[in-house]
C-alpha cells in the first residue's frame, strides 16, 4: 500500500473535504436564511410577541439554532459517527452517540445562546462603543471557560477520576515542578469508551489547573512517552503561549469588531435592517464574521504551528529520554490516524500543528544528537 493510499491519508482527505463542505454549506445556509427574507419573518414573530428585547433575541436564536442544526445534521452524523466507525476510530454504539450528541447540543446551545444574547445586549446598550465591550466580553468568556473546563465542562462528557498510578503521578507532578508550573493533581478521563484516539492536556487556570490523561494514553503508552507528551503541554505554559495567544486573539477580535462596525451600514439599508442591534440581520452578521475568520485563519494557524514547534523542542530537551517523545509522536500519529504529510495548501490553511511526519523527524534528529 503506497503512502498516498494509507488509511491516515484517506481519512485526512475525507476530513478536509468535510471541513470545506461544512464551511461552504454554512455560508450557503446563512445567505439563504438572510436573503430569502425568512430571517425577517422569524424576527418579526418574536418582536411582535414581546416588547422585551432580550426575550425576542433569545426566541429568534432558538429557532435559528434549531433550523441550523437540522440543516447541518446529515454532514454531522456522517463525520462524527459513520466516518469514525468506517476507519475503526469510534467505539460508540448509535445510542451512545445520540446521548453524546444531546449533551453537546445542550451545552453548546446554552453557551451559544448566552454568547450571542450577550453580544446583542452589548450592541443594544452601547451602540457606539460596542466593539470594545464585545471584545472585553470575549476575553472574560475565554478565561472563564478555561477556568471551568476541567472541573465542570469535561465531566459532563467524560468520567474523570484522580489517577491511581502513584509512580506516574509523582513523575508527572515532579515534571510540573521542574518547569515551574503548578498543577493540582493528575486525572484520568474515560475517552476509551468512545474512541481509540489518545490525548492529554494541562487544563484549567489557578486552582482548577490539572493534568488530564486519556485512559487510552495511560493504557497504551509507556511512562517515558507520557512524560514526553506532558512536557510538550507544559511548554505552552513555560513559553507563555496561552497568554500570547489570548492577547493576539483579543487584538484581532477588536480589529474585527471595529471593521464590522464600519461594514454593517453598508448592508443594513439593502436588507431593511435598523442596524447591528437588529436581530433580523444575525445571519448576515454571522456570515460576515465567518468569512473574516476564514481570511485570517492562515495567520492564526501559522502562529500556532510556530508555538507547537517550540513546544516540541522543549519536550525533547526536557524529557529524561528524548527518544521517548519521538516514539510518543509516532504512536499518537498511528492511533489518531494523523496525516503524515498533508498537501501544502492544507497545512497552510487548516493545520494548527506542523505535519506529524516533520515533527517526528525533528524529534528523532534531536534524540540521535543526544545519544
- Looking at residue 3, its pLDDT comes to 45
Expressed in percent and rounded to 5, the helix, strand and coil fractions of the chain are 75, 5, 20
Phi, psi of 202 (to 5 degrees): -110, 105
Residues of the chain scoring pLDDT < 70 = 1-5, 371
- Looking at residue 238, its pLDDT comes to 87
- Looking at residue 208, its pLDDT comes to 87
Yes or no: say if 324 and 225 are a contact pair by the CB < 8 Å rule.
yes
Which residues, 6+ apart, have CB-to-CB distance to 189 below 8 Å? Answer: 154, 158, 159, 160, 212, 213, 214, 215
C-alpha distances in angstroms, 35 versus 61, 220, 281, 370?
17, 52, 10, 62
Closest CA relative to residue 175, chosen from 121, 216, 213 = 213
- Looking at residue 1, its pLDDT comes to 42
Quick one: cell of 11?
Answer: 481519512
Model confidence, pTM: 0.90
- Looking at residue 180, its pLDDT comes to 85
- Looking at residue 218, its pLDDT comes to 95
- Looking at residue 65, its pLDDT comes to 96
Which residues, 6+ apart, have CB-to-CB distance to 291 below 8 Å? Answer: 27
Work out the number of other CB atoms within 10 angstroms of the CB of residue 305: 18
d(CA 369, CA 365): 6
Location of C-alpha cell 499518537: 332
Quick one: cell of 217?
Answer: 494514553
Quick one: cell of 27?
Answer: 455560508
Amino acid at each position: 500500500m503506497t503512502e498516498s493510499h494509507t488509511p491516515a491519508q484517506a481519512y485526512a482527505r475525507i476530513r478536509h473535504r468535510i471541513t470545506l463542505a461544512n464551511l461552504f454549506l454554512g455560508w450557503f445556509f446563512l445567505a439563504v436564511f438572510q436573503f430569502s427574507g425568512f430571517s425577517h419573518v422569524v424576527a418579526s414573530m418574536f418582536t411582535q410577541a414581546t416588547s422585551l428585547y432580550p426575550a425576542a433575541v433569545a426566541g429568534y436564536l432558538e429557532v435559528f439554532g434549531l433550523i441550523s442544526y437540522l440543516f447541518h445534521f446529515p454532514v454531522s452524523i456522517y463525520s462524527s459517527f459513520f466516518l469514525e466507525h468506517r476507519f475503526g476510530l469510534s467505539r460508540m454504539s448509535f445510542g451512545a452517540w445520540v446521548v453524546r450528541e444531546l449533551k453537546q447540543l445542550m451545552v453548546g446551545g446554552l453557551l451559544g445562546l448566552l454568547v450571542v444574547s450577550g453580544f446583542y445586549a452589548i450592541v443594544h446598550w452601547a451602540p457606539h462603543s460596542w466593539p470594545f465591550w464585545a471584545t472585553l466580553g470575549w476575553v472574560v468568556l475565554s478565561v472563564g471557560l478555561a477556568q471551568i473546563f476541567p472541573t465542570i465542562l469535561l465531566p459532563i462528557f467524560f468520567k474523570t477520576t484522580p489517577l491511581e498510578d502513584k509512580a506516574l503521578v509523582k513523575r508527572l507532578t515532579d515534571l510540573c515542578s521542574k518547569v515551574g508550573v503548578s498543577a493540582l493533581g493528575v486525572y484520568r478521563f474515560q475517552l476509551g469508551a468512545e474512541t481509540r484516539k489518545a490525548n492529554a492536556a494541562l487544563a484549567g487556570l489557578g486552582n482548577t489547573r490539572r493534568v488530564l490523561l486519556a485512559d487510552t494514553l495511560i493504557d497504551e503508552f509507556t511512562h517515558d512517552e507520557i512524560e514526553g507528551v506532558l512536557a510538550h503541554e507544559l511548554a505552552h505554559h513555560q513559553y507563555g503561549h496561552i497568554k500570547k495567544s489570548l492577547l493576539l486573539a483579543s487584538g484581532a477580535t477588536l480589529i474585527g469588531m471595529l471593521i464590522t462596525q464600519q461594514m454593517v451600514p453598508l448592508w443594513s439599508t439593502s436588507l431593511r435592517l435598523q442596524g447591528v442591534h437588529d436581530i433580523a440581520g444575525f445571519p448576515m452578521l454571522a456570515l460576515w464574521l465567518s468569512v473574516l475568520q476564514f481570511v485570517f485563519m492562515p495567520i492564526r494557524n501559522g502562529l500556532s504551528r510556530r508555538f507547537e514547534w517550540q513546544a516540541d523542542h522543549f519536550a525533547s530537551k526536557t524529557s529524561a529520554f528524548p527518544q521517548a517523545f519521538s516514539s510518543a509522536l509516532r504512536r499518537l500519529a498511528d492511533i489518531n490516524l494523523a496525516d503524515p504529510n498533508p498537501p501544502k495548501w492544507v497545512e497552510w490553511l487548516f493545520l494548527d500543528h506542523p505535519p506529524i511526519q516533520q515533527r517526528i523527524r525533528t524529534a528523532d534528529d534531536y534524540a540521535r544528537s543526544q545519544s
